[in-house]
Amino acid sequence: MSKVKRVSQKDNADCAVCCLAMYMGVDYEELLEALPFLVTKTQKGGLYTEQLQMIMAVWSGRPVSIIHNHYDKDREKTKQILKMLDGTPAILSARSLNYPSMGHAVYWDGSKIHDPSNKKKYNKSNISIYEVLF
């Protein structure tokens, strides 16, 4: 597994953009240069799952799967999902620790969570996943 270069959030709504940059192995600025419409998306509250899925699929050249976990408060389900994703990079969605009414994206490198937040951060022991893109 290659070392992940952490990409930190620049504002409150760009966690998904940061995770995309980590998933693609590029810098934040490189990603915005390649996909300039992302600047507008972060200014309007971030990206939707379907937008992330499309960008990831185009970038990787393969279909991207989504898991919807309707039991996101069930830590056991989250542990099962992370075990299933062992070795598989993914973008995980959870409820924001910093803005409870919002969602938050983190990057999973196949063994470790990389949270782009500059405030409270998720790790394997405190996350409850509600969506996975891989």
Q: Residue holding tokens 């969605």?
A: 93
Encode pLDDT of 80-102 as tens digits: 999 999 999 999 999 999 988 88
Encode pLDDT of 1-18 as tens digits: 568 999 999 988 899 999
Closest alpha carbon to 65 in 77, 82, 55, 53: 53
Structure tokens at 96: 């924001």
Secondary structure class of 90 (helix, strand, coil): strand
**In 10 A of CB 103, how many CB atoms?**
16
Q: Residue holding tokens 């760009």?
A: 14
Global pTM reads 0.90
| Separation of alpha carbons 92 and 81, rounded Å | 10
State the pLDDT at residue 43.
62
Would you say 19 and 105 are in contact if contact means Cβ atoms under 8 Å apart? yes
